């Protein structure tokens, strides 16, 4: 397999997040900025006894974190693949397992002071902040800082660190009500986003956008097609095989092997392929001794699906030409 094709595929996967970037996630999530901001962690509408939700994510696979399926009570194929990698003594395997093994991120529902009109949003943070917040909750002088009547606002301060910003939290010195408007408080608590459901939908939408991006026309990515892809990425055995092939492809460049393929080869390529772009087709055509490259206009990565008749016509004519 050509390493350039692999790189092109990774670039396409990493760069095709336009739809995600256009989505206004500031309505769902809050993240601190440099400086000081005051907020209130509010009771969770989904677990009144505990405001925090721990979720696991896979980093280092694409441009965006991938939600671990184990969050939803499902077997996570990537976690299984990590276990397989760690059964070996291969340093590269262990390095890869460290990069893709799940990392825990914690989410809390918050009202940001001065931005109350945005309602309850989810603040995501790591273990260090989590420990600090749990220590405050354990402090007898503080107690339940989420109490809507006698709770505590917090000051979140973020400073420029090296290489990452440093975030600290502290309790404000006076207990306050979340708001004097009880109806508004009820509305905030009832309409807060569910961190599990948000990320579950986020995961399906992510697969849907990626599937649509395979084609020139997103309409080809019907719900049936998207469901099939989603089922595949949730299948332990399939994902382990895909990850194993990707790992092998990255390690082995087939550019030196393509000239050894002597049989006639037809390359049928979509001119608008974002997954394996046209320059890869040109390279394949140059390296294969007996190949012919056919282009299909207004076509993405799957010409056999987008332009079935055109694809079959090319094959039939090529077969006749080669007298197969």
Which tens digit of pLDDT belongs to each residue from 243-260?
667 666 666 677 888 999
Question: What is residue 58's predicted lDDT score, i.e. its pLDDT?
Answer: 86
Region for 114 from its dihedrals, namely left if φ exceeds 0, alpha if ψ lies in -120 to 50, beta otherwise: left
**Residue 207: what pLDDT?**
82
Per-residue pLDDT, 246: 66
Tokens of 310: 């055109």
* CA contacts within 13 A on the Cβ side of 252: 10
Give the whole-angstrom CA distance, residue 82 versus residue 105. Answer: 19
In the chain, which residues have pLDDT < 70?
Answer: 1-24, 61-63, 201-202, 233-237, 239-240, 242-244, 246-252
Distance CA 292, CA 315 (A): 11
The 3-state DSSP class for residue 124 equals strand
What token pair was written down for 164? 């990452």
Q: What is the pTM of this model?
A: 0.66
**pLDDT at site 9:** 47
How far apart CA 157 and CA 129 sit, in angstroms, is 11
Domain 16-196 and domain 202-233+254-322, same fold? Reply is no
Give the largest CA-CA distance in the chain: 87
Q: At what angle do helices 236-251 and 223-233 cross, to 10 degrees?
A: 80
Confidence at residue 239, expressed as pLDDT on a 0 to 100 scale? 64
Task: Specify the pLDDT at position 237.
Answer: 65
State the fold for domain 202-233+254-322: Rossmann fold (3.40.50)
Cross-strand partners of 267: 293
* Helix extents (H) in 42-90: 77-85
Give the CATH number of domain 16-196.
3.90.198.10
What confidence score (pLDDT) does residue 250 get? 60
Q: In the chain, where are the structural domains located?
A: 16-196, 202-233+254-322
Rg of the chain over all Cα atoms, to the nearest angstrom: 26
């Amino acid at each position: 397999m050509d390493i350039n094709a692999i790189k092109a595929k990774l670039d396409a996967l990493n760069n095709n997040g336009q739809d995600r970037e256009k989505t206004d996630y500031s309505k769902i999530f809050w993240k601190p900025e440099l400086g000081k901001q005051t907020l209130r962690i509010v009771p969770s509408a989904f677990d009144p006894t505990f405001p925090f939700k721990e979720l696991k994510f896979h980093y280092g696979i694409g441009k965006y974190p991938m939600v671990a399926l184990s969050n939803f009570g499902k077997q996570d194929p990537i976690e299984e693949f990590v276990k397989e990698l760690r059964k070996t003594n291969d340093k590269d395997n262990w390095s890869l397992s460290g990069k893709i093994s799940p990392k825990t991120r914690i989410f809390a529902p918050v009202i940001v002071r001065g931005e109350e009109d945005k309602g309850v949003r989810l603040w995501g943070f790591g273990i260090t902040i989590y420990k600090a917040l749990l220590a405050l909750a354990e402090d007898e002088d503080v107690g339940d800082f989420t109490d809507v009547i006698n709770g505590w606002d917090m000051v979140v301060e973020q400073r420029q660190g090296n290489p990452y910003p440093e975030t600290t939290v502290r309790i404000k010195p006076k207990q306050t009500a979340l708001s004097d408007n009880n109806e508004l408080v009820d509305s905030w608590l009832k309409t807060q986003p569910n961190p599990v459901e948000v990320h579950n939908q986020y995961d399906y939408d992510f697969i849907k956008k990626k599937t649509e991006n395979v084609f020139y026309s997103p309409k080809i990515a019907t719900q049936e097609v998207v469901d099939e892809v989603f089922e595949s990425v949730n299948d332990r055995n399939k994902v382990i095989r895909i990850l194993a092939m990707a790992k092998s492809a990255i390690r082995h460049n087939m550019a030196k092997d393509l000239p050894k393929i002597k049989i006639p080869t037809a390359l049928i390529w979509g001119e608008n392929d974002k997954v394996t772009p046209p320059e890869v087709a040109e390279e394949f055509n140059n390296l294969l001794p007996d190949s012919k490259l056919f282009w299909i206009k207004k076509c993405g990565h799957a010409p056999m699906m987008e332009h079935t008749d055109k694809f079959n016509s090319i094959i039939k004519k090529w077969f006749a030409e080669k007298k197969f």
